[in-house]
Chain A
Amino acid sequence: DTGVSQDPRHKITKRGQNVTFRCDPISEHNRLYWYRQTLGQGPEFLTYFQNEAQLEKSRLLSDRFSAERPKGSFSTLEIQRTEQGDSAMYLCASGPRRGQRNTEAFFGQGTRLTVV
């Protein structure tokens, strides 16, 4: 297993455009998380899935943001009508292994979004 994979690594978009990011978690993990990290700050929780069910969403996740995990494997995060304030690193994480307590998350390298 190569770990959590995110695509693309970088995205530059014009304000008002829609963007979609993809995350492929570690295959034996049943939870998948999305975080956002702005410059000089720690990651902030956005949302998480257990299998295909989206169980929690942060207040940071405005109605322009939507996340899916249709088959309980990969996930997508879409941002509609992007704004400059959306510029950030979007991190995906997965964990734990099924049957284990949630005490650890494995992170991807992130997708850096720049809205110009």
Chain B
Amino acid sequence: GNSVTQMEGPVTLSEEAFLTINCTYTATGYPSLFWYVQYPGEGLQLLLKATKADDKGSNKGFEATYRKETTSFHLEKGSVQVSDSAVYFCAREGQGAQKLVFGQGTRLTINP
């Protein structure tokens, strides 16, 4: 099927730790891939995206590389901050590129 599977949370880290949130997808073809973030009390915001294989999306110190060999789009950040505490959603374009298919989300808490 066409789905997105994320690393289960919650994830709790100390400030300045290295972050990885795993995301794998199933799809026919090569859909665009996204990471969205939802800060407490706010709507979903696009964090970064990659539209083709081997592309690297980056924003606010976060990075993710489109790996077609492993059908993965893992989110990484070298040094997290308390302000990164949020729920992170991996997503792919749906069939026909008319909608998004989301993973279940990973809640991240960063302690000072």
Binding site for B on A (CB under 8 A): 4, 31, 33, 35, 40-45, 48, 55-56, 91, 93, 101-110
Instruction: Please pick, from B46, B99, B104, the residue contacting A33 in the complex, using a CB distance under 8 A.
Output: B99
Query: Which residues of chain A come closer than 8 Å to B103, judged between CB atoms?
Result: 42
Known: A91-B43, A104-B46. Contact between A40 and B99, CB under 8 A? no
Known: A40-B105, A42-B103, A45-B100. Contact between A103 and B44, CB under 8 A? no
Instruction: Please pick, from B98, B102, B104, the residue contacting A48 in the complex, using a CB distance under 8 A.
Output: B98
Q: List 10 A-B contacts (CB under 8 A).
A: A40-B104, A41-B104, A42-B89, A42-B105, A45-B94, A91-B43, A103-B51, A107-B44, A109-B42, A109-B43
Q: How many interface residues does B have (CB within 8 Å)?
A: 24
- Taking chain B's interface residues, is the majority helix, strand, or loop, or is none over half, making it mixed? strand
- Distance in angstroms between the alpha carbons of A20 and B2 in the assembled complex: 31
Known: A91-B44, A103-B51. Contact between A42 and B98, CB under 8 A? no
Known: A55-B98, A56-B99, A105-B100. Contact between A42 and B45, CB under 8 A? no
Binary interface encoding of chain B residues 36-50 relative to chain A, with 1 for a CB under 8 A from any of its CBs, else 0: 100000111110010
